[in-house]
Structure 1
Amino acid sequence: MNAAIWAHPWDVVDEGPERVAQRLTDLGIDEVNLATAMHSVQTLNPHNPDRKTFFADASVYFQPEEGRYGEITPDVNSTMGDRDWLAEIADGFDDTPIALNSWSATFHSSSLGRQHPDATIESPFGDSLIWGLCPSSPAVQEYGRALTGDLTDRGVFDAVEMELADYQYGTGYGWHHQEWFTRMGPLGEFLFGLCFCEHCRSRATDAGVDVERARESARDGLTDRFEGRVAHDTDVGGWLKAHPAVDAYADVRCDTLAALYDDLSDVVSPSDFGYYFKMGGLGDDRMGVEHSWKHGIDLSSLGDLIDEATVLAYHRDPTVVRDDVNATRTLLDAPVRAGILAGHPIVHDRETLLAQTRAAVDAGADALSFYGYGVVPERNLDWIGDALAAIE
């Protein structure tokens, strides 16, 4: 079975691409999903020979093509400087069995959000959620197409895979030291991240939605959650049925993303177009692919546009991993890859990783991806090798 591993470029360049490629080949890994455009991050790197931690603002890890971008341009990683880590890694992998895929968190950039607050997701209260660029914005759409084309045209990737190129979620999945001392729950998260920027409002108005009523209802719903008048575990779908203006407003986002993904699939060709379904937190905080509409994703249209779906099945219980893969295969007409987190807080022993891998395979996963090369200890990499050997 084909297997990939996610990797940050600093770990690959510090250890040496050729050495990393040999290590992965020995484990049974065929592909590296290389971070090319990332959100702000601090990693612990247990087996990195030069640095045990790496901090970066949201940035890209290659030198962008000048003149390709419009209003929004990528921030080059400051540690990388004038180097081009992507080019160095691609050259190092060139004569090895390891294929290279691009992994980009396309619209999850607090750096670009600070620079372009008018292009960010805007809460129902008018707050700029700077961690997330809004896909309704023409400038953001232009940036997404330019970034994707820039990566594709380098000619080094078998696949261009995207994460969070959508409307994301109310807290932005965490990107700094956040102080949220109100339990948002699914409804609070959904409503707080429901964008009311000028572009979203204009598109909804054109679709015949009562935008002001939708916004007022969203604000009231959030206030009710803050004050405990609505339970934290309130069903989002049920709440929307009682608030049809908000329901109609949210639906417009699906059409916006479908059109954008249609454009991106053309830009990516002839490389494969992959998408990651990051639908909830780690472990027991589960929100499966069936909730992708909360991010503005219409599964019925997306299946015709992507070449592969990766479900990030980061769960301790192997039966939940199985359920995630099954649900994705049922709901999406595309090959399904299971993403498995091979470290804390999900996996602490070999047996758990073997059980999760077997569950994904038994559920019909077409391929596997493991997280991640530099952020788990050497022993965990050995566990990945054992898991792959066990399913041969």
Structure 2
Amino acid sequence: MKASAFLYPWDVVGDPAAPGTVARTGVRQVTLAAAYHSTRALTPRHPRHRIVTAEHAAVLYPPDARWTGRALRPRPAGAWAPGDAWGEAARALADAGLEVHTWVVLAHNSRLGAEHPHTSVVNAYGDRYPWAPCVAQPATRALLTDLAAEAAVRPGARGTELESLGWYGLAHLHAHDKTAGVGLGDAGQYLMALCFCPDCRAGYGTQGLDADRLAAAVRDALGPVWRGAAPSGGGWAGVERLLGAEAARGTRAWRDERARTLQEAAVAAVRAAAPAGFQVLLHADPVSYHCGANAGVDPGHVLSVADGVVVPCAAGDAGLLTPFAERARTGAVLAANLTVVAGLGGRPGDLAADAARARDLGATELRLYHLGLASDTDLAAVRAGLAGR
């Protein structure tokens, strides 16, 4: 199986040894961030720095004239990735014989939420999630679609991976998160992800739901959860138990339609801007009501739109591949995303076994998260694991 490694431009720019270090692990492709959220990242081998602080969501190349005069637009990076950092890094990686694809983070942008609060998801209590743009809003959808096309199709890129192309919810590693005092299961997370901005309130109306009554029902359902008197897990059955089957189905119908049509529009925009043979993958979760970086999708639908998916396989658990494998057409890419940084809970020493397990469940490729963050010991384990597949 082909293996690709995730990298940031700052892992490469200023470090002439980085492309060779990556190539010697045995990977033949790099998925290089072109648009990314705020982060603080370790660079354990870089000759100039050890910590990079990306202060806000940014594009890591110079944005073009399509954004002139638009209120909602991507922001260029600051000193952490100045100029065309993506292009500089991509050229160095290509010179080392590595195929380069773009890594594009879309509906995850705290800077957008800070500058334009009305674009954010609003929960049933009236709290805004500035990291989570509401993907139902027309202006936000236009931003994300155009950003997907621009950031994906960088000079020299052979393909792209689109992350966060769907709903984001409460679960998010925000600065100094203090949200784990009450453990929310997947049903509680869904209720806390329901958006009540004006566009979503109108959208619930198209499903026969009154938005005020729905918000009150969410608050009532979560009351016992906050007190620790009721569970909030149980999958979709748990959502229906908390909210009622009719209301639950109505919210999901609205949200699924908004996510599906945004995915269709973004992929179409990328294809229109890309050369022939350009590969388009989505980071995806096979449960459509799930939120986050791996957007919840309908497996059959997303595989009819994109060339494939990148699927989280944390701690070697590749079970999320199965729903995609059951619906995959011939030639579809099913990439198993394996964490190979031990300090982040990864299993670099088990890479060969985890890759074999993923292959048995339908994976056609591997993604390794994240060689720029990995220690030398982790990299040695990756080299051994890829050699032993």
Same fold, judged at TM 0.5 (above) = yes
Cα distance in structure 2, aligned partners of 1:302 and 1:8: 26
1:33 match: 31
Aligned partner of residue 121 in structure 2, secondary structure:
strand
Query: Match of 1:14, SS?
Result: coil
| 1:300 Cα offset (Å) | 3.0
- Contact kept, 8 Å, 2:9 with 2:81, in 1: the verdict is no
Cα deviation per residue 1:270-328 (whole Å; 9 max; x = unaligned)?
Answer: 42221112xxxxxxxxxxx343323353333212111110111111xx4x23x233343
The answer as to whether partners of 2:188 and 2:233 remain within 8 angstroms in 1 is no
Where 1:6 maps in the other structure, the secondary structure is strand
The count of aligned residue pairs is: 372
Q: Which residue of 2 aligns with 1:67?
A: 66
Matches within 5 A, 1:186-197: 186-197=186-197
State the AA in 1 paired with 2:24. D
Q: Counterpart of 2:288 in 1: which secondary structure?
A: helix
Q: Is the 8 A contact 1:341 1:370 kept in 2?
A: yes
Q: Would the alpha carbon gap of residues 332 and 126 (structure 1) be closer, same or farther in structure 2, given more than 3 Å must change? A: farther
* Matching residue of 2:101: 101
Answer whether contact 2:41 2:51 (CA < 8 A) is retained: yes
Aligned ranges 1:135-214 → 2 under 5 Å: 135-171=135-171, 173-180=172-179, 181-214=181-214
Among candidates 17, 20, 23, match of residue 18 of structure 2: 20
Aligned counterpart, 1:294: 290
* Distance verdict in 2 for CA 1:194–1:49, change over 3 Å: same
* Aligned positions of 1:280-359 closer than 5 A: 289-295=285-291, 297-315=297-315, 318=316, 320-321=317-318, 323-330=319-326, 333=329, 334-343=332-341, 344-347=343-346, 350=349, 352-359=350-357
* Cα distance, 1:371 vs structure 2: 0.8
**Counterpart for residue 58 of structure 1:** 57
TM superposition shift of 1:331: 5.0
SS in 2 for 1:100: strand
Specify which of 259, 268, 283 is matched with residue 257 of structure 1. Answer: 259
2:362 is aligned to 364
Per-residue deviation, 1:243: 4.0
Question: 1:127 aligns to what?
Answer: 127
Q: In structure 2, what is the Cα distance between the partners aligned to 1:153 and 1:349?
A: 31
Distance, in Å, in 1 between the alignment partners of 2:214 and 2:327 is 28
Counterpart secondary structure, 1:265: helix
Taking a change above 3 Å as real, the CA distance of residues 149 and 349 of structure 1, as seen in their structure-2 partners, is closer
Q: Which runs of 4+ in 1 moved over 6 A?
A: none
Give the aligned residue type for 2:201.
R
Partner of 1:283: none
Measure, in 2, the Cα distance between the counterparts of 1:252 and 1:331. Answer: 23
Residue in 2 that maps onto 1:285: none
Structure 1 unmatched ranges of 5 or more:
278-288
* Aligned residue in 2 for 1:273: 280
Q: Find the aligned partners of 2:58 and 2:119 in 1 and give their Cα distance.
A: 17
C-alpha contact 1:276 1:309 (8 A) present in aligned 2 = yes
Q: Aligned Cα RMSD in Å?
A: 2.1
- Taking the aligned partners of 1:43 and 1:255, their CA distance within structure 2 comes to 35
Does the Cα contact within 8 Å between 2:313 and 2:320 map onto a contact in 1?
yes
Check the 8 A contact 1:7/1:34 in 2, yes or no.
yes
* Helix, strand or coil at the partner of 1:293: coil
Aligned to 1:378: 376
Q: Which residue of 2 aligns with 1:284?
A: none
Q: Which secondary structure state, in structure 1, belongs to the residue aligned with residue 362 of structure 2?
A: coil
Give the 3-state SS of the residue equivalent to 2:14 in structure 1: helix
Query: When the two structures are superposed, what TM-score results if normalisation uses the length of structure 2?
Result: 0.89
Conserved 8 A contact 1:148-1:264? yes
Q: Judging changes above 3 Å, is the alpha-carbon distance between structure 1 residues 372 and 294 closer, same or farther for their aligned structure 2 residues?
A: closer
Q: Give the counterpart letter for 2:261 in structure 1.
A: A
C-alpha change, 1:260 and 1:347, in structure 2 (3 Å) is closer
The one-letter amino acid paired with 2:325 is R
Q: Which amino acid aligns with 1:46?
A: P
Taking the TM superposition and a 5 Å limit, the aligned residue runs for 1:39-54 are: 39-54=37-52
Instruction: Give CA-to-partner distance per residue, 1:314-347, whole Å, 9 cap, x none.
Output: 11xx4x23x2333431255542000100012433
Alpha-carbon spacing, 1:192–1:332, altered in 2? closer, same or farther (3 Å): farther
- Mapped contact 2:59–2:74 kept (Cα < 8 A): yes
Structure 2 CA distance for aligned equivalents of residues 335 and 88 of structure 1: 28
State the SS of the aligned residue for 2:45.
coil
Per the alignment, do residues 268 and 222 of structure 1 end up closer, same or farther by CA in structure 2, a change over 3 Å counting?
same
Q: Which runs of 5+ in 2 are unaligned?
A: none
Q: Is the 8 A contact 1:290 1:331 kept in 2?
A: no
Tell me which amino acid in the other structure corresponds to 1:51.
Answer: H
